[in-house]
């Protein structure tokens, strides 16, 4: 072969190689740019578990009115789940406004037996198809409406058919749905078990028609120590940044120039902010919750037991609450909070630890009536009362009464009520 032919072949090979290298560089830059601009791009990182919306949205309380001014109820999530999961086997259809009909059954006939599900915050109706077995088209569901309570009158569920009422917190808007319950005997068994495991409750009403259901029976709950297992910083870095290779570290902070991830080892809490996503855009409540769940699922981020707590607009925020020993935990480090803009995640705050606990001793919880008397004596206004765990000395978690005021739960102290 002549030397000119060899040179020609080598030159051709070099040209082809340069074209391939140039194409790879261009493609990489395009993909990287796309990854930074498109929030849907995620690395396949599994921190813990994925969960469906129906596994996250549960009531905070379930109360059964057995007769006029006679109530049984619970906050225990194990008991609550058994009742709610039975509802999920029913088929919901034919949604329509029914406020007057409900008020007649609930207020005018006070002895009507009724099961009441109280959620910790408003739940958008658009999520009903994700939570329950709904057999109607989406356009038949009142998309812009929300509900805070569900009511099931015992006389309304007969012969595998019945009615369920969805109501706002003040009971001013009520939407009913017809249901088909194919195994009604299972529901009756669940109800019998619920009555056995529930506690005496009382109901308070205020001048705007809102009812507060409060446990009025002493009970023992475990006080326990907690041990935290820290999750890897590197796992969250790989999960949250489009390309971890472009991330720079400065102590406990990580950035790629657009997003910032900071870990606080004192509070065991991380904060991630994507500055390219705007804040306080117009968002639908249901879309915000769906986006938040999908985002956490993208890195299997459901550690421990978290449940939906509330959703807010301006700022557009979704909150999930930590539960330990089947009761909610109230402190600044027990929530997952996600802010949404343009249907994408602007900021993400959460604990980066998992909790391991062991009991020490039981603690007696006073009756709700006693707490109400003390709150009234101190002229403390409240929108709700509930039992939460909160941090005590030496990482000890203790059960206590909390009162709700302006969407915040505050621990009741006879000397100095404070916010946890």
pLDDT in tens, 247-271: 999 999 999 999 999 999 989 999 9
DSSP-derived secondary structure for 44-111: ---SS----GGGT---SEEEEEEETTEEEEE--HHHHHHHHHHHTTSEEEEEEE-HHHHHIIIIISTT
For 282, the domain range is 222-420
Give residue 41's pLDDT band: very low, low, confident or very high (50, 70, 90).
Answer: very low
Give the ranges where 175-226 is alpha helix by DSSP (H).
Answer: 184-197
Dist. CA 397–CA 224, nearest whole Å: 5
Asked whether residue 26 is assigned to any structural domain, the reply reads no
Are residues 392 and 264 part of one domain? yes
Asked whether residue 63 is assigned to any structural domain, the reply reads yes
Are residues 389 and 319 part of one domain? yes
Spacing of C-alpha 163 from chain mean position: 26
Which two structure tokens, joined as six digits, stand for 141?
Answer: 């569901």
Which two structure tokens, joined as six digits, stand for 177?
Answer: 């749905």
Give residue 13's pLDDT band: very low, low, confident or very high (50, 70, 90).
Answer: low
Are residues 370 and 339 part of one domain? yes
Contact predicate 371/401, CB 8 Å: yes
Are residues 322 and 266 part of one domain? yes
Dist. CA 402–CA 7, nearest whole Å: 84
Asked whether residue 367 is assigned to any structural domain, the reply reads yes
Asked whether residue 242 is assigned to any structural domain, the reply reads yes
Dist. CA 269–CA 331, nearest whole Å: 12
Q: For the beta carbon of residue 121, count every other beta carbon within 10 angstroms.
A: 19
Give residue 40's pLDDT band: very low, low, confident or very high (50, 70, 90).
Answer: very low
Question: ω into residue 315 within 30 of 0, thus cis?
Answer: yes
| pLDDT tens digits along 67-98 | 988 999 999 999 999 999 999 999 999 999 99
Predicted local distance difference test score (pLDDT) of residue 9: 56
Q: Domain total for the chain?
A: 2
| Domain boundary, last residue among 151, 185, 217 | 217
Element (H, E) at 116: strand 114-124
Contact predicate 173/187, CB 8 Å: no
Are residues 301 and 189 part of one domain? no
Are residues 102 and 124 part of one domain? yes
Q: Find the range with the poorest average confidence among 154-158, 303-307, 317-321.
A: 154-158
Are residues 149 and 119 part of one domain? yes
Mean pLDDT of the chain: 87
The sign of the torsion formed by the CA atoms of 135, 139, 140, 142 equals positive
DSSP-derived secondary structure for 368-417: HHHHHHHHHHTT---SEEEEEEEE-GGGEEEEEEEEEETTEEEE--SS--
Q: What share of the chain is helix, strand, coil (3-state, %, to 5)?
A: 30, 40, 30
| Domain boundary, last residue among 163, 194, 217 | 217
Q: Tell me 329's DSSP state.
A: B
First-to-last C-alpha distance (Å) of the chain: 85
Predicted local distance difference test score (pLDDT) of residue 158: 80
Are residues 227 and 198 part of one domain? no
| Domain boundary, last residue among 167, 196, 217 | 217
Given a cut of 50, is residue 63 above it in pLDDT? yes
Given a cut of 80, is residue 124 above it in pLDDT? yes
Which two structure tokens, joined as six digits, stand for 282?
Answer: 């117009």
Give residue 125's pLDDT band: very low, low, confident or very high (50, 70, 90).
Answer: very high
Predicted local distance difference test score (pLDDT) of residue 29: 43
Are residues 234 and 199 part of one domain? no
Asked whether residue 10 is assigned to any structural domain, the reply reads no
Are residues 235 and 204 part of one domain? no
More confident residue, 178 or 280: 178
Predicted local distance difference test score (pLDDT) of residue 269: 95
Contact predicate 226/355, CB 8 Å: yes
Are residues 179 and 250 part of one domain? no
* Residue 346 belongs to domain with CATH number: 3.30.310.160
Asked whether residue 250 is assigned to any structural domain, the reply reads yes
Given a cut of 70, is residue 8 above it in pLDDT? no
Predicted local distance difference test score (pLDDT) of residue 17: 54
Asked whether residue 179 is assigned to any structural domain, the reply reads yes
Q: Is 37 helix (H, G, I), strand (E, B) or coil?
A: helix
Q: Find the range with the poorest average confidence among 262-266, 324-328, 415-419.
A: 415-419
Predicted local distance difference test score (pLDDT) of residue 39: 46
Q: Tell me 367's DSSP state.
A: P
Contact predicate 389/325, CB 8 Å: yes
Q: Is 314 helix (H, G, I), strand (E, B) or coil?
A: coil
Predicted local distance difference test score (pLDDT) of residue 23: 47
Are residues 235 and 164 part of one domain? no
| pLDDT tens digits along 101-120 | 999 999 889 889 999 999 99
Which two structure tokens, joined as six digits, stand for 135?
Answer: 């057999």
Asked whether residue 22 is assigned to any structural domain, the reply reads no
């Amino acid at each position: 072969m002549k030397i000119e032919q060899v040179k020609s072949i080598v030159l051709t090979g070099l040209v082809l190689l340069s074209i391939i290298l140039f194409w790879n560089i261009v493609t990489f830059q395009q993909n990287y740019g796309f990854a930074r601009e498109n929030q849907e791009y995620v690395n396949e990182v599994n921190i813990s578990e994925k969960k469906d919306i129906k596994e996250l949205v549960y009531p905070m309380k379930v109360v059964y009115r057995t007769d006029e001014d006679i109530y049984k109820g619970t906050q225990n999530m194990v008991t609550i789940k058994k009742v709610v999961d039975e509802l999920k086997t029913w088929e919901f259809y034919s949604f329509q406004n029914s406020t007057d009909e409900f008020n007649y059954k609930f207020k005018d006939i006070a002895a009507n037996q009724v099961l009441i599900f109280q959620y910790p915050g408003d739940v958008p109706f658009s999520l009903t198809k994700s939570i329950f077995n709904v057999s109607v088209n989406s356009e038949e569901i009142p998309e812009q409406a929300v509900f805070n309570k569900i009511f099931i009158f015992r006389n309304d569920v007969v012969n595998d058919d019945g009615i369920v009422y969805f109501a706002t917190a003040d009971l001013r808007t009520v939407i009913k749905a017809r249901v088909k319950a194919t195994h009604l005997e299972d529901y009756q068994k669940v109800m019998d078990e619920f009555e056995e495991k529930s506690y005496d409750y009382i109901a308070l009403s205020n001048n705007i028609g809102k009812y507060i259901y409060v446990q009025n029976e002493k009970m023992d709950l475990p006080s326990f120590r907690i041990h935290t297992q820290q999750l890897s910083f590197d796992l969250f870095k790989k999960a949250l940044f489009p390309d971890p290779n472009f991330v720079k570290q400065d102590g406990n902070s990580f950035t790629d120039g657009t997003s910032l991830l900071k870990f606080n080892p004192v509070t065991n809490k991380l904060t991630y902010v994507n500055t390219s996503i705007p804040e306080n855009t117009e968002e639908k409540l249901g879309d915000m919750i769906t986006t938040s769940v999908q985002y956490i699922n993208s890195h299997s981020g459901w550690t421990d037991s978290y449940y939906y707590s509330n959703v807010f607009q301006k700022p557009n925020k979704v909150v999930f609450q930590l539960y330990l020993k089947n009761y909610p935990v109230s402190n600044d480090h027990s929530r997952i909070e996600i802010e949404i803009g343009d249907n994408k995640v602007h900021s993400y705050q959460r604990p980066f630890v998992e909790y391991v606990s062991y009991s020490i001793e039981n603690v007696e919880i006073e009756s709700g009536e006693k707490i109400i008397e003390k709150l009234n004596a101190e002229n403390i206004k409240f929108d709700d009362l509930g039992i939460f765990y909160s941090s005590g000395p030496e990482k000890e978690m203790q059960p206590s009464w909390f009162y709700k005021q302006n969407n915040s739960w505050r621990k009741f102290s006879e000397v100095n009520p404070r916010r946890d």
